[in-house]
Structure 1
Amino acid sequence: MTDYTALRDRLTGTLATRDQDDHTAGATAFNLTIQHDPDAVVHAADEADVVETVRFARAEGVPLHLHATGHGAHGAYASGIVLALGGLSSVAVDPDARTATVGGGTRWADVVAAAAEHGLAPVTGSSTNVGVVGFLVGGGIGPLARSHGFGSDHLVAARVVTGAGEVVEASAEGDAELLWALRGGKTGLGVVTEVTVALSEVPSLYAGTLFFDLEESTDPFVRWVDWTTTAPADVTTSGLIIRFPDLDVMPPPMRGKHLFALHVAYPGPVDDAERLTKPLRELGTVYLDDLGPLPLADIARITNDPTEPGPGFVRGATVAHVDRDFADAVLGLVGPGSTLPIMGLELRHVGGAMKAESPATDAVGFRDFEYTTTILGVPDPALFDEVLPRALAQAEQTLTPWLSPHLTPNWMPDPYDAEQVARTWPAAVLARLDAVRRTHDPDGVLAR
């Protein structure tokens, strides 16, 4: 049994072991059905704590798991050390260079707020509650995907504690190969303690959501699917079909409703935006209209993703193409009359600028899909073991004719088996990533 006393004495931060009450406090998964129970949890106060923890894990031969916000956890950690990075939270914006230098435990919300003061915006995800680093190393797809590409395309530099316990600067002037790997290589590349990201000038943002009542008509969803096939290159949309429970905690306009929520983002002048999005308002009778000029600091309001932890059952995939038959298939799964225990299905229209980079500049892997889809099971843990896996397998089989054979890193389901990995990165990219991992983590200290 590992004695953690020596490590605790070397830390500025804190260390809790399994024999202490609530030893995982501050390092829990966002999905509350996942319950971590590692041997120890380290709450790093600074980069030196990270170095000490990595060196200890390497010397003792114990696995090391990283935790920032808990959004990336898909399986429980039952041994080793969880290294919590929430204490490494900071943002410094350089408006002249149009960059933000960000601590490794920072959430996007802090970066968005700081950048917005200068009329700048990071390429963030739909939820600004997620961690910056986890989003970037997994590629990162958000509401500006078509106009600005993957989030990882905007990663300029990083400070990394390697699996050998050394601090490395990943940048064009420093370790360029490690920078390449961090731009979409996901796991096993080191502990990122700081990143520098490029910010974009966004003088105005026209964004929000149009809601359509599916019980009244399913035509708006079908027409939107048609619209995406010729959509403007810099307008990003995502469509969510969702059943809102008939509960008092739901806002009255949503309570008990079965809606098609069309999320829209256009980084440009209002006049152009109104012209470009006019066809979307004409898809059908709009039930609620929350689309218009939006302050950059409020970008998370586009999708209003949950900010509080809760139980969840989610599966993602990429979609190669869509047509009317695809729209009908989706409606058969989650439209009016469906009895599957699926709360919602989101289809994101991507492509556009996401296809601009190449394996020479990043490790994202495949960029040949036009859409992503996410299926949300009813958040009832009693259904998670058998009922929801069957329902989602049925949904995936139904959508198979349109699905891409490839995945994108942040859409990979755990566990990361060989089949999933091969669908996420081409063989040449995998080989190059493995070489980077062998260089910087020769003993396999960092969990893959």
Structure 2
Amino acid sequence: MTTTPDRTLLARLTTSCEIHLPGDPGYDAARIPWNTAVDQRPAAVAIPRSVAEVQDVVRAAAATGLRVAPQSTGHGAAALGEGSLADVVLLRLSGLTGVTVDPGAGTARVLGGTLWRDVVGAAAQHGRAVLHGSAPDVAVAGFVLGGGLSFYGRRHGLAANSVTAIEVVTADGTLVRATAEQDRDLLWALRGGGGNLGVVVAIEIGLLPYADVFAGMLLWDRERAGDVVPAWVEWTRTAPESATTSLRVMSFPPIPELPPFLSGRDIVVIDGAVLESDETAAELLAPLRALEPELDTFGRIPATAVLDMHMDPPEPSPAVADHAVLGPLDAAGVAAFLAQVGPGTTSGLTFAELRQLGGAFARPDAAGGALSHVPGSYALFCVAMAPTPQAAVAGRAAAFSVVRALSAWSQTGLVPTFTETRVDTSRFYDGDDWSALCRVRDAVDPGRLFVANHGL
């Protein structure tokens, strides 16, 4: 059930913003997130196309006794969808997009609903790159507000640390520009604090000096997992910070839309980027290439091509997931992983991923935000497609089974952008940082107007 707000009051306070209420023809289409397994039913959906409209919506929601949940694409909507949204206006920022690159300053200004594909493309026109995620259709705001793991991250750290300014509409409808010189505490809190502090309408991020990078993937049949997984784990122990990779055991249904090398197959994939010369990168990858992958795409590619390397679903999809951060994996840890998803198993997962951490990911950044680092060696991320409620139940169980099997190697912390369920959010932060973040939230939103997928 949803609480229908006073339509007259909303109309008066939001003179031009697109608003959808329950029962309106466009309500169902507007409320569906990218993860279509999430059934979010808010009191209203607002789709602003200007900062002024965002401010109108925030003020209107407060005046009607409603709260506000900012959302760009809804990739990480699962935790938000676990709670009731009956008194919440879902503020979809998909209509507020755009990017402006300042190559002289080495920054890009990104509007609140902008996708990574647009930012990466704009930066590439100036021979630059950014600390983007592994999918082109993820919005910049949600990614960096949750820390952000990039394939350049073991050298350059979390994406949140590249943010130099944030423009945010606060609980009273005021537009604030937070920088290191002005509203420093708010900037610190927003970088990793998620959607708890306001509606982010623009972000200024730093650029990286890469027009092209050495990146790609290696692919084997899953029958080779017993060789590939331990070899990759061993390789990661000494790999330099210039290398950021992931290993996934993946299962694909036999459908004609997939290329033959994926359709109906169980495979092992290692992908990532090596920020070195071609010669040095080839030397680093030699132990993995010695395993004779059936497909090897590693090479010098434009920075824009890195977005498609990870083979994330190109369209909105229903999925469920579970996650843990792992410390170093010994032989027993590798065996526990293979016992769940290796040859001969039937996990029911679409993929089980080990994302390489360490390096700059793991080091606290004195100039960073509330979430400036992620201690640990690997981020475990297990995903199952969930086209039906029954499949969702089975998928959650399958994902949890892998996480539970690796519990002996798990750490307390979690990565916000990999966490698809409601958790104790103090697990994202160091103890003092979490307490300080809550104090900033109390100062800027004492009435708890804003609702985030991971609330404080």
Q: Distance in 2 between matches of 1:95 and 1:49?
A: 30
Compute the displacement of 1:396 (Å): 2.0
Q: 2:35·2:76 contact (CA, 8 Å) conserved in 1?
A: no
Q: Cα RMSD between the aligned structures?
A: 1.8
Counterpart of 2:376 in structure 1 is 369
CA distance 1:260–1:217, change in 2 (3 Å): closer
SS in 2 for 1:294: strand
Counterpart of 1:162 in structure 2 is 170
Counterpart of 1:5 in structure 2 is 8
| Mean Cα deviation higher: 323-332 or 95-104 | 323-332
Candidates 406, 412, 427, aligned match of 1:405: 412
Compute the displacement of 1:181 (Å): 0.5
SS in 1 for 2:141: helix
Compute the displacement of 1:57 (Å): 1.4
AA aligned to 1:334 is V
Q: Distance in 1 between matches of 2:363 and 2:172?
A: 34
AA aligned to 2:396 is P
AA aligned to 2:440 is V
Candidates 109, 113, 122, aligned match of 1:114: 122
Compute the displacement of 1:216 (Å): 4.6
Counterpart of 1:290 in structure 2 is 297
Q: 1:365·1:408 contact (CA, 8 Å) conserved in 2?
A: no
Candidates 385, 388, 394, aligned match of 2:395: 388
Q: 2:31·2:41 contact (CA, 8 Å) conserved in 1?
A: no
Paired residue total: 444
SS in 2 for 1:164: coil
| Mean Cα deviation higher: 321-330 or 234-243 | 321-330
Q: Distance in 2 between matches of 1:350 and 1:140?
A: 12
Deviations 1:138-161 (A, max 9, x none): 000021121211000100001110
Counterpart of 1:259 in structure 2 is 267
AA aligned to 1:71 is H
Compute the displacement of 1:242 (Å): 0.8
Summarize the alignment of residues 94-243 of structure 1 with structure 2, pairs less than 5 Å apart. 94-216=102-224, 218-243=226-251
Deviations 1:295-332 (A, max 9, x none): 01111122021120111111121111112222211111
Q: 1:365·1:429 contact (CA, 8 Å) conserved in 2?
A: no
Q: 1:204·1:268 contact (CA, 8 Å) conserved in 2?
A: no
Q: Distance in 2 between matches of 1:344 and 1:413?
A: 15
| Mean Cα deviation higher: 133-142 or 248-257 | 248-257
| Mean Cα deviation higher: 268-277 or 333-342 | 268-277
Q: Does 1:247 align with 2:255?
A: yes
Compute the displacement of 1:132 (Å): 0.5
Compute the displacement of 1:341 (Å): 1.8
Q: 2:106·2:206 contact (CA, 8 Å) conserved in 1?
A: yes
Candidates 52, 55, 62, aligned match of 1:51: 55
CA distance 1:302–1:385, change in 2 (3 Å): closer
Counterpart of 2:22 in structure 1 is 18
Counterpart of 1:350 in structure 2 is 357
CA distance 1:267–1:358, change in 2 (3 Å): closer
SS in 2 for 1:120: coil
Q: Does 1:281 align with 2:285?
A: no
Q: Distance in 1 between matches of 2:372 and 2:166?
A: 20
Q: Distance in 2 between matches of 1:234 and 1:105?
A: 30
Structure 2 gap ranges (5+): none
| Mean Cα deviation higher: 285-294 or 265-274 | 265-274
| Mean Cα deviation higher: 269-278 or 162-171 | 269-278
Compute the displacement of 1:415 (Å): 2.1
Q: Distance in 2 between matches of 1:379 and 1:318?
A: 23
Counterpart of 1:302 in structure 2 is 309
Compute the displacement of 1:264 (Å): 2.1
Compute the displacement of 1:5 (Å): 2.5
SS in 2 for 1:299: helix
CA distance 1:396–1:216, change in 2 (3 Å): closer
Q: 2:160·2:372 contact (CA, 8 Å) conserved in 1?
A: no
SS in 2 for 1:101: strand
Q: 2:160·2:192 contact (CA, 8 Å) conserved in 1?
A: yes
Q: Distance in 2 between matches of 1:112 and 1:366?
A: 23
Percent pairwise identity: 33
Compute the displacement of 1:78 (Å): 3.5
Q: Distance in 2 between matches of 1:360 and 1:430?
A: 16
Q: Does 1:64 align with 2:72?
A: no
TM-score computed with the length of structure 2 as normaliser: 0.93
Q: 2:349·2:385 contact (CA, 8 Å) conserved in 1?
A: yes
AA aligned to 1:38 is P
Q: Distance in 1 between matches of 2:245 and 2:167?
A: 34
Counterpart of 1:318 in structure 2 is 325
Q: 1:27·1:70 contact (CA, 8 Å) conserved in 2?
A: no
Counterpart of 1:329 in structure 2 is 336
AA aligned to 1:287 is E
Deviations 1:189-214 (A, max 9, x none): 11011110000101430101110122
Compute the displacement of 1:350 (Å): 1.4
Q: 2:318·2:385 contact (CA, 8 Å) conserved in 1?
A: no
Q: Distance in 1 between matches of 2:69 and 2:38?
A: 14
Compute the displacement of 1:7 (Å): 2.7
Q: Distance in 1 between matches of 2:182 and 2:307?
A: 34
Q: Distance in 2 between matches of 1:86 and 1:244?
A: 30
